[in-house]
Amino acid sequence: MLSVFIDTLLLCTATAMMCMSSGIDPAKELQGAPWVQASLQESLGSFGPIFITVAMVFFAFTTLLGNCFYCDNLLIYIHKKQPEKAFMKGFRLVSALAIFLGAGMEMSLLWDLSDVLMGGVMALINIPVILILSGIALKAIQDYEVQLKQGINPVFKSADIGLRQKTDFWR
């Protein structure tokens, strides 16, 4: 969560403020990274575009490594064990191919594609899961409210709402 906070709130906000106060007007040909490069060139001279290019390469590389790490752990969780080496090699090859193809796409197409995939795929996955888990969530809220009405400090116990399976953090 800290990395998302630092990336989104601090770095993106600082970059936006820098671009807006640089005196460089955003134009169609200066969308995204070119506007940041032009803004840095305005304030740091010829070192600006070099600095931001190197920073973006490191940011992209570490983001890709982090996402691949998350996917590896997700696959281990889903399979309840380490997936076979052949499967993981195939998964990593497909990931590398997707990265390679994405790096060559026009920026507007890439953003449109990512918006559709993130919105559509996330909705297709999350809406059914939310519906499946809504009964458990409602039971937890009702248990919480009952404990409040009884004047006690609410403590969540999974058995009180009918969860029989082992849970990671709740008794």
Please check whether residue 113 lies inside any domain of the structure.
yes
Residue 70 included in any domain: no
The pTM score is 0.57
Sign of CA dihedral 163, 165, 168, 171: positive
CB-based contact 113:105 (threshold 8 Å): yes
pLDDT attached to residue 168: 66
Q: At what angle do helices 12-21 and 33-44 cross, to 10 degrees?
A: 60
Query: What is the C-alpha separation between 171 and 167, in angstroms, rounded?
Result: 7
Quote the pLDDT of residue 151.
94
Is residue 135 domain-resident? Answer: yes
- Domain-embedded: residue 101: no
* pLDDT tens for each residue of the chain, 171 residues long: 687 788 788 888 988 898 899 888 888 888 878 888 899 898 888 898 888 889 888 888 888 888 888 888 888 888 888 889 899 899 889 988 988 888 888 878 988 998 898 888 888 888 998 999 899 899 999 999 999 999 999 988 888 888 877 776 666
**Structural domain count of the chain:** 1
What residues make up the domain containing 115? 108-171
pLDDT at residue 144, rounded to an integer = 94
